[in-house]
Amino acid sequence: MALSLFVGPPAKGQAEIRGKVMAKVTHEFDLYGKHYKLETGELAKQATGECLVSCGDSTVNVTVVVSKERKNYDFFPLTVDYIEKMYAVGRIPGGYLKREARPSEKATLTARMIDRPIRPSFPDGFRNEVQIVAMPLVADQVNSVDTICIMGASAALTVGGVPFEGPLAGVRIGRDVETGEFLVNPTYEERDNSDLDLELGGSATFISMLEAGAKEISEEDMLAAMAFGQEAIAAFCEEEKKFFQKCIEVNGPFPVREYELDEPIPEVHERVFAHFDEMSAALKDADKLSRMDKVEALKESIKAEFTEDEQAEWDRAIPVELKSLEKHAMRKMVVETGERVDGRTATEVRPLMVKPNYLPLVHGSGLFQRGQTQVLSVATLGMLNEWQRLDTIEPVDGKRYIHHYNFPPFCTGETGRMGSPKRREIGHGSLAERALLPVIPSEEEFPYTIRVVSEVMESNGSSSMASTCGSTLALMDAGVPIKRPVSGVAMGLIQEEGKTVVLTDIQGLEDFLGDMDFKVTGTTKGITAMQMDNKATGLTPEILKQALKQAHEGRMFILDAMLEQIPAPREHTKETAPQIISLSIPTDKIRDVIGSGGKVIRGIQDDTGATIDIQEDGSVFIAGTNGAGEEAAERIKAIVKVPEVGEEYTGRVVNIQPFGAFVELLPGKDGLLHISRVAKGRVDKVEDVLNVGDEVRVKVIEVDEKGKISLDRLDKPEAPAGAERKGSEHKGEKREGEHRRRRHVGDKGGSGEQRQPRRHHEG
């Protein structure tokens, strides 16, 4: 089937204008307190379509290229790339190469956000390869660049004459915590004061993509935010239409291109769908692998009914019809009988298994299984200086709570390459991270960096929700004082033959062949995260309300099962986890603790085995096991301690002078014990009573303005016999000698003034 589509406002005299020089067209408008601009005709003219879109000064160039030839696939080959450019924020990329390389997690998530509303808007059977590239050129650090990319992609597709159901737009909805007012595309500053971060993508009439993070808000408030977001999307779509009309007025009609679609072949459809009852019977099996084997065996037997020539002629049509047969058999079963392929009702949750403290030695772990989806989550606690630093164009330095999700091929009984995480894994990890972030304690409450890794051991749908539940178990097992436990469930939708059924806890088949994948996480207080991909255009507020109601019931059922096994976070972290001690020292003492070239702090770490992190504001975090942290903390306290009058110490004599002994009270802190205070009675020489290395009990009697410390000895011994006599014999000689010295000093100066001898006093 050949498809010629003209997208945009109607115009007369459509004609092929490929290669025509396009004049620059700009449309500027204000919506919800912010300024936007759409522009085309100046950049990337060899692309199929291009649009420069901006919000404030944040600017993204979005291009679309569609291959000339149709691909021999049984799926739609769409690729979306979001390429961060560090020059957009006036920075040079880090690393050795000093150029952009692998996309950041934020870039990957943004590419997914653009893809999800665009993909279902293309017609069935479209097989030409499509690549959308969004490239931020300026990020003003005030307005986010991600949500405007959907509008830019929609505009680029339209001006390029690509067939899709547009226009589309994306918005971010926030809510001011003080006024309760909803905000459209809030600035970064406004987002800091918001208890909601809701991203929506779709058309003027329905939402096809949703991502949300929230600080435990109610289902009613979330529905209100979604309704408000739908109105905002419609407003942006209307501005796109005005832009398209300007383009036509300046450059004439959009190009008309013919694209051949894969169209159902009636003969193939009839022969495949003759096996509808057999497919329905094959689908009724609660075991995923057994059901898949039955379905694949049936498909192979149906395919074998076609001759080799027919299979060659209809090589794409046959697989498409076989997939359609499976889809319609499953959907009809649900809407007609109310029974699902595994025998559950629409609102029933699969059997649960909950096991906290699953692994020994690790800091925290939890095994969560729902049906044939099994996730093992492991929590690790570290120092605050182990936080993840982010090198992106977003004004975010990093994060101290990190969630990673891994989906190895064995979890679905398949072989595959084990390597870096794919987009799906990054997206699911981000969802679980967003779900738990609102309940993570602050640095002041719990001075740790927290990493949770969710390993999918077995998968049959809703693994991201299982990872949320498993991670809650792991955090509680690790002794992380989360505010409230979080659970999650995935909802589905079947709209068939005029009937609508909302499904609770969908499995893989119902996700793949259904109309909606709607994930909801939250606590007993409210929602913390949501994600939705919707293929149904008839998603009404009533359906969403029903889905959220069923999701709440499912979440609470799952949460009760979790709390039966671990009702609250453990009171203490495990012995294998680092015990982090936090203290504060004066900023002028930081140098003393670190020492010259880091000698002092390295010595403490080497001696105790603890890890020490000192912040510029004097905050000190010490991590260690088996008492190492406490020992290191005491040594640091001793370094910064300033002895006070009246305090008593057992010190070590470190130096002896004729006038007294210097006693080390604390590391680096000496005080002077004058010769007159080393014993009861007169002492001629300090060495008669004390030697270097002796321990002596002393009391602080004075600390002068320069910090010099004077001491008195406690439990003084009697002065050695003969000390007083020796002093009397030499008394006259000493006075005569002192008189001679003073006279000599006075005569030297000629003024007659007497100069007192200097006393060397170190404190």
Higher-pLDDT residue of 128, 13: 128
- pLDDT, position 743: 33
pLDDT exceeds 50 at position 745: no
Higher pLDDT, 26 or 14: 26
**Residue 493 CA neighbour count, 13 Å, CB half:** 24
In angstroms, how far is CA 222 from the centroid of its own chain? 22
DSSP string, 692-740: TT-EEEEEEEEE-TT--EEEEESSPPBPPTTHHHHHHHTHHHHHHHHHH
Do the annotations mark residue 315 as ligand-binding? no
Looking at residue 20, what is its pLDDT?
54
Mean pLDDT of 689-705: 91
* pLDDT tops 50 at residue 5: no
> pLDDT tens, 435-474?
999 999 998 899 999 999 999 999 999 999 999 999 999 9
Residue closest to 243 by CA, chosen among 74, 9, 440, 524: 9
Q: How confident is the model at residue 12 (pLDDT cuts 50, 70, 90)?
A: very low
Distance between CA atoms of residues 250 and 652, nearest Å = 92
85: left (phi over 0), alpha (psi -120 to 50) or beta: beta
Choosing among 3.30.360.10, 1.20.1050.10, 3.40.50.300, 3.30.1370.10, the CATH entry for 579-640 is 3.30.1370.10
Same fold, 579-640 and 648-701+710-744: no
Q: What is the pLDDT of residues 253-279, one digit of tens each?
A: 888 788 888 888 999 999 999 999 999
pLDDT digits (tens, 9 = 90+) for 645-681: 999 999 999 999 999 999 998 877 889 999 999 999 8
Write the CATH number of the domain with boundaries 352-565. Answer: 3.30.230.70
At 512, is the secondary structure helix, strand, or coil?
Answer: helix
In contact, 581 and 629? CB cutoff 8 Å: yes
pLDDT at 14 over 50: no
pLDDT tier at 723, thresholds 50, 70, 90: low
Q: How far apart are CA 626 and CA 620, in angstroms?
A: 19
| Mean local confidence (pLDDT), 118-145 | 94
In CATH, the number for domain 648-701+710-744 is 2.40.50.140
pLDDT of residue 616: 87
Over residues 338-361, mean pLDDT: 95
Q: Is 70 exceeded by the pLDDT of residue 547?
A: yes
User: Among residues 731, 722, 654, which one has the least CA distance to residue 683?
Assistant: 722
In angstroms, the CA 667 to CA 684 distance is 30
For position 724, what pLDDT does the model report? Answer: 54
Phi, psi values for residue 692, rounded to 5°: -60, 130
Q: Does the pLDDT of residue 739 top 50, yes or no?
A: no
Is residue 753 predicted with pLDDT exceeding 80? no
Measured from the Cβ of residue 487, the count of other Cβ atoms closer than 10 Å reads 26
Q: Which CATH superfamily is domain 2-11+20-260 in?
A: GHMP Kinase, N-terminal domain (3.30.230.70)
3-state secondary structure of 270: helix
Supply the pLDDT for residue 722.
63
User: What is the pLDDT at residue 62?
Assistant: 98
In this structure, are residues 69 and 80 in contact, taking their beta carbons and an 8 Å threshold? Answer: no
Nearest to 762 by CA among 637, 668, 696, 688: 668
> Which of 228-237, 405-414, 594-603 shows the lowest per-residue confidence on average (mean pLDDT)?
594-603
Of the chain, the end-to-end C-alpha distance in Å amounts to 95
pLDDT-based confidence at residue 21 (cuts at 50, 70, 90):
low
Q: Is residue 146 annotated as involved in ligand binding? A: no
Tell me the CA distances in angstroms from 726 to 128, 281, 720, 734, 738, one per residue in order.
112, 117, 11, 12, 18
The two tokens of residue 292 are: 């898949």
Give 189-247 pLDDT, tens digit per residue. Answer: 999 999 999 999 999 999 999 999 999 999 999 999 999 999 999 999 999 999 999 99
Checking if the pLDDT of 100 tops 90, the result is no
Extract the tokens encoding 307: 């001759």
Residue 293 has pLDDT above 70, yes or no: yes
CB within 8 Å of 483: residues ≥ 6 apart? 438, 439, 441, 523
Domain regions of the chain by residue span: 2-11+20-260, 266-337, 352-565, 579-640, 648-701+710-744
